[in-house]
Amino acid sequence: MKVLANDGISKAGENRLKEAGIELLEAKVSQEHLINFINENAVDVLLVRSATKVRTDLIDACPGLKIIGRGGVGMDNIDVEYAIEKGLYVINTPNASSRSVAELVFAHFFSLARYLHESNRMMPLEGDTQFNELKKSYTNASELEGKTLGVIGFGGIGKEVVKIGISLGMKVKVLTRKPRTESISLQFFDGQTVCFKISSTNDMDDFLKNTDFISINTPKTEGYILDTVQFEKMKDGVFIVNTARGGVLNEVALLDFIESGKVAGAALDVFENEPNPELPLLMNPNLSLTPHLGGNTLDAQEKIGTELALQIIDIKKILE
């Protein structure tokens, strides 16, 4: 079996595959040459992340493919249903990067609440001449403890965000399409485990009421989850972080509500016009911005590679 990891794979994943006698082609093939490369090299497994697209034309043109794998959660760059109809196995790693994304959510929350995103810009420019003025301008900072955290989405990432919120002493609300109750377990360094029962709501108005921090952790959606109507119902001074997908919130409306003061600050790791975010977003001092870094930690990449490799090894046994 030959595996093409077109967007890369961790050393741990590579080692797992080689130990199982699977050949790894860790090449980076451009989209326009991908079909020819797969066919000429008799590739059985195509592994991608977000850069490579696996559409119906590629699936039809590569009859030797047996498995398509996505290193991450979202599958919007793969025509999943069509691939399955054609008899291919489609795999992903829904939990491997969850903790990394959740920690980025709180990196942004801390940055926004303490003005770190702005002070890191201004200190190199004015720190030597306007030190006391800058100090005064950042005095309206907030703690997270005791505040209300609203989490939109209750998958693997949403659950990790909830865990961190609980560990910080935050009150937690969860919004899902259908209300449900999940058990959340926090494990501590001394072996103790504390369990919490968290019930979600599908009542947007109740969810937004008195919520101080909002994290969006959903798959790609049809239409905006947060648009003008939802912004209007938020608590004044709310903080928002989107590490989900571009297009789940209205970026133009977000800027309007930042300007009005309704939204105290927001963070975007993903963008509607990715990879070319709109200039007004990039220049707004009330935004904390990252270039789609959610799962980009060494820890997550090791987990992703290992999880993909183990799934491929299991499928190989079925196919033999």
Peptide bond into 275 cis (omega under 30): yes
> Cβ(287)–Cβ(117) under 8 Å?
yes
Token couple for 24: 């790894």
> What is the architecture of the domain spanning 98-289?
3-Layer(aba) Sandwich (3.40)
User: What's the first-to-final CA gap in the chain, in angstroms?
Assistant: 10
Q: Evaluate if residue 3 carries a pLDDT over 80.
A: yes
Asked if CATH classification 1.10.540.10 holds for the domain at 2-93+298-319, the reply, yes or no, is no
Q: Evaluate if residue 123 carries a pLDDT over 80.
A: yes
Question: How far is the CA of 108 from the CAs of 76, 115, 233, 243, in angstroms?
Answer: 25, 10, 23, 10
Q: What are the structural domain ranges in the chain?
A: 2-93+298-319, 98-289
Burial of 199 (0-12, 13-18, 19+ CB in 10 A): exposed
Question: Which pLDDT score is estimated for 290?
Answer: 97
User: To the nearest whole percent, how much of the chain has pLDDT over 90?
Assistant: 93
Q: Which of 245, 278, 302, 307 is catalytic?
A: 245
Question: Which pLDDT score is estimated for 155?
Answer: 93
Question: Which pLDDT score is estimated for 118?
Answer: 95
Question: Which pLDDT score is estimated for 50?
Answer: 82
Q: Which of 274, 278, 307, 320 is catalytic?
A: 274
pLDDT tens by residue, 28-56: 999 999 999 999 999 999 999 888 999 99
Rg (CA), the chain: 22
Question: Which pLDDT score is estimated for 261?
Answer: 94
Among 137, 132, 131, 146, CA closest to 115: 137
Q: Which of 292, 302, 307, 320 is catalytic?
A: 292
| DSSP 8-state assignment for residue 201 | B
Alpha helices, H only, the chain: 11-19, 34-40, 56-61, 80-85, 98-113, 116-126, 131-137, 156-167, 204-208, 228-232, 251-260, 279-283, 298-319
Among 188, 98, 223, 90, CA closest to 151: 98
> Cβ(201)–Cβ(207) under 8 Å?
yes
Q: Evaluate if residue 185 carries a pLDDT over 80.
A: yes
Distance CA 50, CA 44 (A): 20
Distance CA 310, CA 316 (A): 10
CA 121 to chain CA mean position, Å: 25
Q: Identify whether 103 is a catalytic site residue.
A: no
- Taken in order 245, 251, 254, 258, the sign of the CA dihedral is positive
pLDDT tens by residue, 52-90: 999 999 999 999 999 999 998 778 899 999 999 999 999
Token couple for 253: 């409306």
Q: Say yes or no: do domains 2-93+298-319 and 98-289 share a fold.
A: yes
Q: How many CB atoms lie within 10 A of CB 231?
A: 21
Q: Point out the least confidently predicted range of 71-75, 138-142, 182-186, 200-204.
A: 71-75
Question: Which pLDDT score is estimated for 57?
Answer: 96
Question: Which pLDDT score is estimated for 142?
Answer: 95
Q: For 84, phi and psi rounded to 5 degrees?
A: -65, -40
Mean pLDDT calculated for residue range 170-195: 96
Q: Identify whether 274 is a catalytic site residue.
A: yes
pLDDT tens by residue, 255-305: 999 999 999 999 999 999 999 999 999 999 999 999 999 988 999 999 999
Question: Which pLDDT score is estimated for 107?
Answer: 98
pLDDT tens by residue, 224-264: 999 999 999 999 999 999 999 999 999 999 999 999 999 99
Q: For 27, phi and psi rounded to 5 degrees?
A: -105, 165
Let me know how long the chain is. 320
Question: Across all residues in the chain, what is the average pLDDT?
Answer: 95
Question: Which pLDDT score is estimated for 110?
Answer: 98
> Cβ(287)–Cβ(267) under 8 Å?
yes
Mean pLDDT calculated for residue range 152-164: 96
Which is it for strands 67-70 and 287-289: parallel, antiparallel or unpaired? unpaired
Q: Evaluate if residue 95 carries a pLDDT over 90.
A: no
Q: Evaluate if residue 26 carries a pLDDT over 80.
A: no
Beta bridge partners, 54, equal: 78
Beta bridge partners, 24, equal: 3
Q: Helix, strand or coil for residue 240?
A: strand
Which is it for strands 193-199 and 181-187: parallel, antiparallel or unpaired? antiparallel
**Interior CA angle at 37 toward 2 and 23, to 5°?**
15
